[in-house]
Amino acid sequence: MASSPPPVVISAVDQDWLTALREVWRYRDLLLILAARQVSVRYKQTALGIAWVLVQPLVGVVIFTVVFGRLAHLNSAGLPYPVFVYTALVLWQLFADGLTRAGTSLIADEKLITKVYFPRLVIPLAAVGSAMVDFLVSLVILLPMTYLYGLRPTWSLLWLPLAMGLTVALAAGVGMAIAALNVRYRDFQYTVPFLIQVWLYASPVVYAVELVPVSLRPFYYLNPMAGLVGLARFAITGETEFSSLGLGLAALGVGLACGLGVWVFRLVERSFADYI
């Protein structure tokens, strides 16, 4: 009687973060498929469909314009307040949506994780990638709005892909860490909305950075979104200035967030199956 083949044992293998990212690149087709699936599921059986992407920031613009522009009379760096807010809000929405979706992505796809092997980093990265679709749709309203208020695009638009890329990377870095910790400690999912709300008012979305004292701005720019919001506002309007210090510190902060995010994710990943 022929003996049965020996059992196949799958065990965790220690990888450095660079090897882990190379493995993600090999599974890039899966990443695109998961991102497309998230976009499809998000707007399936909705009355307005992808129009929600346009409605949400527009409602925010109306509220912020009335409260902070009309009533509080906050400085808008010489721009019409609706344009001032919307140019920052679309980038902020990209960050907030990417972070939120990435932070809960592993719990949402727990059945997929336990049934088949693939690099788990693909899941939060796909979640962040799906938020990029919403950002691009938001530009459909933003660019005509600038024309409506007499602004015209300039060479500054060339900076917009950089602002978008760094924002996506920041959301991915923070989102990977939160996603991994959320598997181990489920109460992390409740901290994300609070974190995003605090982070919003710590960034120059509804107010100009000029309100921050000059002596405190180097510390203020330790918040990467402060520099990125200023860059996006300059890119779209061409009318404001952005801080080179803010951009430099933002790039440094994004790099640190991505490195820390991968490290935390890889550290917790070995015990995913036990807690999911």
pLDDT of the residue at 253:
95
Q: Looking up tokens 């749709």, which residue turns up?
A: 137
Tokens (6 digits) for 15: 């990888």
Nearest to 95 by CA among 21, 203, 19: 203
H or E element, residue 80: none
pLDDT of 109: 77
Q: How far is CA 261 from CA 132, 181, 185, 267, in A?
A: 19, 10, 16, 10
pLDDT of the residue at 1 = 46
Structure tokens at 27: 């599974």
Q: What is the largest CA-CA distance in the chain?
A: 87
Report the candidate in 265, 82, 111 with the shortest Cα–Cα distance to residue 173: 265
**Among the listed residues 216, 163, 170, 213, the one whose alpha carbon sits nearest the alpha carbon of residue 195:** 170
pLDDT tens, N- to C-terminus, the chain (276 residues): 455 555 544 445 555 666 777 888 888 888 888 888 887 777 765 656 667 777 777 888 888 888 888 877 788 888 889 899 999 999 999 999 999 999 888 887 777 777 777 788 898 999 998 888 888 888 888 878 888 888 877 888 899 999 999 999 999 999 999 998 888 887 777 888 898 999 999 999 999 998 899 999 999 999 999 999 999 999 988 888 888 999 999 999 999 999 999 888 888 887 766 666
Q: For residue 102, which of 114, 91, 94, 92 has the smallest C-alpha distance?
A: 94
DSSP 163-216: HHHHHHHHHHHHHHHHHHHHHH-TTHHHHHHHHHHHHHHTTTTSS-GGGS-GGG
The distance of Cα 3 from the centroid of its chain, to the nearest Å, equals 54
Total residue count of the chain as it appears in this document: 276
Handedness of CA 249, 254, 257, 259 (dihedral sign): negative
Cα distance between residue 200 and residue 182, in whole Å: 22
Cα separation, 255 vs 263, in Å, equals: 12
Q: For residue 77, what pLDDT is reported?
A: 83
Return d(Cα 176, Cα 264) in angstroms, integer. Answer: 8
